[in-house]
Structure 1
Amino acid sequence: MLPPDNDGSHPDMRSAAPFSDAERAAVYRAIETRRDVRDEFLPQPVSDETLRRLLAAAHCAPSVGLMQPSRFIVLRNPEQRKTIHDIFVRRNAEAAAMFEGERAERYRSLKLEGILKAPLNVCVVCDRGRDGEAVLGRTHQRDTDVYSTACAVQNFWLAARAEGIGVGWVSIFDPADLVEPLGLPEHVAPVAYLCVGYVDRLFTRPELEARRWAERAPLEDHVFEGRWGARRSD
């Protein structure tokens, strides 16, 4: 017989009361002050105990059908990270060539990774090896495993912010570039390559905004009512 459900009597259920003002403020502070760190890393090592807390937070992320597809590859070896950095340098040159004029010059001036400077690198990958199985919540949207892995990345990032640890997401790779260096089997897809380490300062707004590459749009421009493009006042 299935345990009682949806009536508040399940032994695993608890109160859903809101957080205290201080607790709520701490959550929003982590969200609002999280930054993509590229060049502010300190040499201070991240302890195994602290790393485990970050990984545990990531492992608690929402997971469609409780499929738990996220895996975490921790890279400490300098030679291995040098290999990854060489790949980045090649791909970054390709990316720079896609911009023209002043935009290209500005692109080349940006520091876009901390692969060698950060004490740790963590590659978050998605084990997609359940393609032949019916998974609750994934029956009609096959990419929910990747979405679930992205949630794990966000959890890791917010927990790191609370610990005073910076995280930088390096996305200037072709995912296939990481297969050989990380020994990834065919059913495992790289989702996020993260540079991880303590920082003593952060930009007060996104670095690309501070460096005038782009601007954060007003929230109102991204919220619709009932259908695409409709505003509440329409």
Structure 2
Amino acid sequence: MSTAPPDFDATFLEQFDALLCWRRDVRHFRTDPVPEPVMQALLASVSLAPSVGNAQPWRLVRIRSTDLKAQIADHIDRQRIAAADRYADADQRAHYLSLKLHGVREAPELLAVFSEEHPDTGHGLGIATMHEMLRYSTVMAIHTLWLAARARGVGLGWVSIVDPATVRTMLDVPDHWSLIALLCIGYPDGPCATPELEQRGWQAREALADRLFER
């Protein structure tokens, strides 16, 4: 028996567009916890993401240890200082160092997302010529989680200034798991529909016309 699809009416579409607009990379978090039923709903949303061959290559590590969180935060801070040396211009380097790039110490939840490079699931479908589709699938899972979080008023921040091998060692996961993201999850310290890097004058969003091509 087939099931009729839901009616995504004009009101829903307007709300969905607002959800996309308000999905932000959050760096400023309140420290109060995310209720466990909410966290379980967010984690469950990951399974709704599309994946190549239905391989579901994502592997989630929920970091509960305060010692591990502190170690990871210290590691990120060291990577941030090292990354600043990439900027030869002193003003740009100072601007970079003035940015808040993570909320690991404040966010009540920290989630490491890995991609299994050789999953038994999926039976190799769709990756013969583009093995990276496994990682792309994991990115789709992260985006699904991101939207599910924002719809519940929960913020998510993607931290990328880490050394993947170091984090993998810290978390004691298999070598064939590739780190895709370190995610801070919690309630935002304040609402904002404008990307923080745009607010801080680092980089504004550019027009679609500059990124849309036709052949």
Q: Same fold (TM over 0.5)?
A: yes
Q: Deviations over 1:13-45 (max 9, x none)?
A: 544565012222222211111111112x11221
- Asked if 1:215 corresponds to 2:204, the answer is yes
Question: How far apart, in 1, do the equivalents of 2:15 and 2:43 lie?
Answer: 20
Q: How does 1:54-93 map to 2 (within 5 A)?
A: 54-93=42-81
**How do residues 190-205 of structure 1 correspond to structure 2 at under 5 angstroms?**
190-205=179-194
Q: How far off its partner does 1:82 sit?
A: 0.4
Contact 1:76 1:119 in 2 (8 A): no
Q: Which amino acid is 1:166 matched to?
A: G
- Whether 2:159 is the aligned partner of 1:177: answer no
Give the direction of change, closer, same or farther, for the CA distance of 1:220–1:195 in structure 2 (3 Å limit): same
1:129 Cα deviation from its structure 2 partner: 2.2
1:73 partner SS: strand
Aligned AA (2:203): A
Equivalent residue, structure 2, for 1:229: none
Aligned mate of 2:93, from 101, 104, 107: 104
Q: Deviations over 1:174-216 (max 9, x none)?
A: 2112111111111111101000001252333111011100111
Per the alignment, residue 31 of structure 1 pairs with 20
With the length of structure 1 as denominator, give the TM-score of the two structures. 0.86
* Equivalent in 1, 5, 9 of residue 20 of structure 1: 9
- Considering only CA atoms, is the larger Rg found in Structure 1 or Structure 2? 1
Aligned length: 214
Instruction: Provide structure 2 residue ranges, at least 5 long, that are not aligned to the other structure.
Output: none
Which amino acid counterpart does residue 85 of structure 1 have in structure 2?
A: A
Between 1:70-79 and 1:118-127, the stretch displaced more is 70-79
Identity %: 37
Q: Which amino acid aligns with 2:92?
A: R
SS of 1:176's partner is helix
Q: Whole-Å Cα distance in 2 between the matches of residues 200 and 94 of structure 1?
A: 28
Asked if structure 2 preserves the Cα contact closer than 8 Å seen for 1:35 and 1:202, the reply is no
User: d(CA) in 1 for partners of 2:7 and 2:17?
Assistant: 13
Q: Runs of 4 or more off by more than 4 Å in structure 1?
A: none
Higher relative contact order (CA 8 A, sep 6+): 2
User: In the alignment, is the contact (CA less than 8 A) between 2:23 and 2:193 conserved in 1?
Assistant: no
Q: Deviations over 1:113-151 (max 9, x none)?
A: 0011000101111111238x8521112110111000000
Deviation at 1:67, TM superposition (A): 0.3
Unaligned runs of 5+ in 1: 1-10, 227-234
Q: Is the 8 A contact 2:53 2:123 kept in 1?
A: no
Q: Deviations over 1:48-75 (max 9, x none)?
A: 2111111111221010100000111111
* Paired amino acid for 1:49: P
Question: Structure 2: how far apart are the matches of 1:207 and 1:50?
Answer: 25
Please, what TM-score do these two structures have when normalized by structure 2? Answer: 0.94
* Partners of 2:184 and 2:144 in 1: CA distance: 15
Question: RMSD across aligned C-alpha pairs, in angstroms?
Answer: 1.8
Name the structure 2 match of 1:51. Answer: 39
> Counterparts of 1:178 and 1:17 in 2: how far apart (Å)?
42
Deviates more, 1:148-157 or 1:73-82: 73-82
